Amino acid sequence: MTRSFVASPALEKIEPNFGHSFALRKFEEVNPNIQPSWHFHPELEIVYVKHGSGKRHVGNHISYYNGGDLIFLGPNLPHYGFTDRLSGSNSEIVVQMKETFLGKHFFALPEMTNILQLFERSKAGLSFYGNTKDEVGARLSSLFYMDEFDKLVEFLKILQILATSKEYNILNASGVTLIVQGQDTDRIDTIYKYVRNHFTEPIQLEDIAEVVSMTIPSFCRYFKKVTSKTFTEFVNEFRIVHACKLLSEEKHSISEVCFESGFNNFSHFNRLFKEKTGKSPNAYRKAVEKVVYDEYYLG
């Protein structure tokens, strides 16, 4: 799902690990990843979650993933992280590096052409799947047991695998304008958090306007200006993504998915779901079940 999206993320400052040219971290249940809610950074970022499910909110893109994920994000691409971070997973690996982390001219070498093209594609956000996700995930895990030189060589191999893989989807998280102003950052973050905590309930405009100390007309103008969509469109989009999660993971009836996702009208839910995903809820569930079957029995 993509729409033009303009928001005000917070700048995150990233420092490479001591003695290394890039940052490598593993987050586990005993060491959870606590990131700013809506943030960006000039570094490229690779995020690998081996298992679990959650929502991707990258740039102007919102979607759902299941069975883990491998994402490559370009520089200055705002993202919200994963709603259900570590849900069903016991670890998450994050790598962050500047485009020039090996020098200004290293990736201009002819041997680095594929990787340079990967960096360019990453500006729209990439999600890898299949054997690529599994192989790169295993290689990322092995980095923690290598010395500095072998770690760098292995990381270049990882980038080459990603650069030559065909197993990826472009998230099309483009059209993002960064307006870094403290007041806007805090306000949009408050709105997003409120929606994430209350999207299963009816959300009245007067309620959300009061949360950010604005009149209803002012709030509507503000939200439309910074997101290029109405507040109702944003909430419904978030609810549809949650419905995708329920249809993929749990054996609820379609009507239960409808109401547990915050919709109170079944026909409206069906119409909006097909409009956003291209499939009816039932067809979407069958498509997901087929993917899971093929991966388990044929993979």
> Strands of 126-128's sheet, edge to edge?
23-28, 91-97, 44-49, 69-73, 126-128, 168-170
In terms of phi and psi (left: phi > 0; alpha: psi -120 to 50; beta: otherwise), the region of 262 is left
Residue 32 predicted with pLDDT over 90: no
Q: Cα–Cα distance between 105 and 290 in angstroms, integer?
A: 46
Domain boundaries defined on the chain? 10-170, 182-292
pLDDT computed for residue 120 by the predictor: 92
Domain 182-292: CATH architecture, name and number where available: Orthogonal Bundle (1.10)
Q: Cα–Cα distance between 297 and 290 in angstroms, integer?
A: 10
Q: pLDDT tens digit string along 175-220?
A: 443 433 445 667 877 888 898 889 999 999 999 999 999 999 999 9
pLDDT computed for residue 87 by the predictor: 47
- Confidence tier at 65 by pLDDT (50, 70, 90): confident
DSSP string, 95-129: EEE-TTTT-SSGGGSGGGHHHHHHHHHGGG-EEE-
- According to the CATH classification, is domain 10-170 in 3.40.190.10? no
Q: Is the pTM of this model over 0.75?
A: no
Largest CA distance in the chain: 59
> Residue 112, Cβ neighbours under 10 Å: how many?
19
Residue 45 gets which letter from DSSP?
Answer: E
